[in-house]
Amino acid sequence: MSKASNLHRRSSAFIGGSNARSKTDHLTRRSFLLTCGAAAAGAGSAFAAYQWMRRKNMTVASVALSPDAVANDSGNDEQFVREAMYYKKLEEGRIECEICPRACKVAPKERGYCGVRENIEGTYHTLVYGRACSANVDPIEKKPLFHFLPGAKALSIATAGCNVECKFCQNWEISQFRPEQVRSMHFPPEAVVWEARQNGIESIAFTYTEPVIFYEYMLDTAKLAKEKGVKSVMISNGYIKEKPMSELCEHLSAVKIDLKAFTEKFYEEQCSGKLQPVLDTLGLLKKKKMWYEIVVLIIPTLNDSEQEITNLCQWVHAELGPDAPIHFTRFHPTYKIKNLPPTPASTLSHARDIGLKAGLNYVYVGNLPGHEGESTYCPGCKKVVIRRVGFAILDLAIKDGKCKYCSRPIPGVWNV
């Protein structure tokens, strides 16, 4: 997943820190709360808050940078609590969650594995509706999505929590904490969509942590965004059941799936999860004709063997087809895996060669700026149709969804 610049981590840099902000950018906690204190009551007050921010030349990201501008969660949790979707009631007040494959059975006053869904007197609730702990504007290439509106911007949002625990998570400071442990701001769906439209941002990305755990927030935002002509993308681990994913597909424009590895052993030992549900999600996305791309973080000694990468690429070709884009990205030591080195460039190049040899048309290399595998090549004439360096688009030779040179269709979402 993309690295998050989250409220919890970024705001701490300004508490007693040396970073300077102009007086016009500074927003006191009191003035912020006075501006949007009634935001939970309706969209109008939320819009008023964001209009005030814009008059002060502030963005969502600049609010995230100021600790005084972040509403403290303590004593104000009610605005984030909604009844959850996809669960069933059991005997003795227990419930069973039906969002993800964990199928948590939760007793009253307890929470599911994700830490953001709680059984309150026999009714399951989400505790993170509109509770954004990160809000930033990113290039869509950062997600990464390479066949989706090249060069476009995405308003990226996240809440605390996750339904797996990857030992190599780069956003563990928010994904592995409960919402009350992370600084957040009230950013309801109406305000998210309003901000995107006012800034001419083409899409909203649910990202950084795992969007499955803030399902209701994501779904309502995506629904409203679609009504207002803004696209939505889900950046996910794919650990979700069929019914909730199918409903999301009606409102999303693209999905990026992090396929952590291609063995159950890796998922069990490194992610506290299972592989098969993720493969099932990929199959469902193909069935629904949803645009999706796959990312595999290659970690030295753990999932970088030639045989595993070959098996993965052959499965993608056989089950998803040759046009499914796959990104092999570079690992950097973090969280609980700090004893391994960054992935060698040669390993990523070899993985790309394996994918191309397996018959895949769009195989990319990520987190390695300047590598030829960052660009998109036409499978027909072999010419570069999208030249990239890092997140920058240097040249675009796709017209009406086709290669400008040989007119071969290039699959993806190319028009707003």
Q: What is the mean pLDDT of residues 89-109?
A: 98
By percentage, how much of the chain surpasses pLDDT 90? 81
Is 201 a domain residue? no
Is 92 a domain residue? yes
- Verify that 312 and 366 share a domain, yes or no: yes
Q: 41: how many CB neighbours lie within 10 A of its CB?
A: 10
- Predicted confidence at residue 267, as pLDDT, reads 98
Number of structural domains found in the chain: 3
DSSP string, 34-59: HHHTTGGG-HHHHHHHHHHHHHTT--
Q: What is the mean pLDDT of residues 115-127?
A: 98
Is 316 a domain residue? yes
- Verify that 118 and 20 share a domain, yes or no: no
Residue identified by tokens 């904490």 is: 177
Strand order across the 95-97 sheet:
87-89, 95-97, 105-106
- Verify that 98 and 49 share a domain, yes or no: no
- Verify that 66 and 85 share a domain, yes or no: no
| Helix orientation angle between 215-227 and 242-249, rounded to the nearest 10 degrees | 20
Domain holding 263: CATH number?
3.20.20.70
- Angle at the Cα of 275 (from 203 to 107), degrees rounded to 5? 85
Q: Which spans in 123-179 are helix H?
A: 172-175
Is 167 a domain residue? no
| Amino acid identity, position 195 | E
Q: Tell me: the pLDDT tens digits for 265-287?
A: 999 999 999 999 999 999 999 99
pLDDT confidence tier of residue 2, bands split at 50, 70 and 90: low
- Verify that 275 and 370 share a domain, yes or no: yes
- Verify that 94 and 57 share a domain, yes or no: no
- Predicted confidence at residue 51, as pLDDT, reads 44
Cα-only R_g, the chain: 21
- Verify that 267 and 341 share a domain, yes or no: yes
Q: Tell me: the pLDDT tens digits for 312-334?
A: 999 999 999 999 999 999 999 99
- Verify that 37 and 120 share a domain, yes or no: no
Q: Per the omega criterion (within 30 degrees of 0), is the bond before 411 cis?
A: no
| Distance in angstroms (rounded) separating the CA atoms of residues 75 and 89 | 28
Which range of residues forms the domain containing residue 110?
77-126
| Distance in angstroms (rounded) separating the CA atoms of residues 89 and 94 | 6
SS3 letters for 292-358?
EEEEEEECCCCCCCHHHHHHHHHHHHHHHCCCCCEEEEECCCECCECCCCCCCHHHHHHHHHHHHHC
| Distance in angstroms (rounded) separating the CA atoms of residues 193 and 187 | 10
| Distance in angstroms (rounded) separating the CA atoms of residues 361 and 380 | 10
Is 360 a domain residue? yes
- Predicted confidence at residue 161, as pLDDT, reads 98
Is 223 a domain residue? no
- Verify that 13 and 27 share a domain, yes or no: yes
Q: Does the pLDDT value for residue 406 go beyond 80?
A: yes
Interior/surface letters 76-111, b for 16+ CB within 10 angstroms, e for the rest: eeebbeeebbbbeeeeeeebebbbbbbebebeeeeb
Q: 49: how many CB neighbours lie within 10 A of its CB?
A: 23
Q: Which spans in 38-123 are helix H?
A: 43-55, 60-65
pLDDT confidence tier of residue 13, bands split at 50, 70 and 90: very low
For the chain, percent helix, then strand, then coil, each to nearest 5? 35, 20, 45
Q: What is the mean pLDDT of residues 94-116?
A: 98
| Distance in angstroms (rounded) separating the CA atoms of residues 365 and 143 | 13
Q: Which spans in 256-305 are helix H?
A: 264-266, 276-287
Is 49 a domain residue? yes
Please say whether the dihedral angle defined by the alpha carbons of residues 45, 49, 55 and 61, taken in this order, is positive or negative: negative
- Predicted confidence at residue 28, as pLDDT, reads 35
Q: What is the mean pLDDT of residues 348-372?
A: 97
- Verify that 363 and 263 share a domain, yes or no: yes
- Predicted confidence at residue 57, as pLDDT, reads 41
Is 395 a domain residue? no
- Verify that 27 and 63 share a domain, yes or no: yes
- Of 61 and 154, the structure prediction assigns the larger pLDDT to 154
- Verify that 117 and 16 share a domain, yes or no: no
Can you say whether residue 161 is alpha, beta or left, with left for phi > 0 and alpha for psi between -120 and 50 degrees?
left
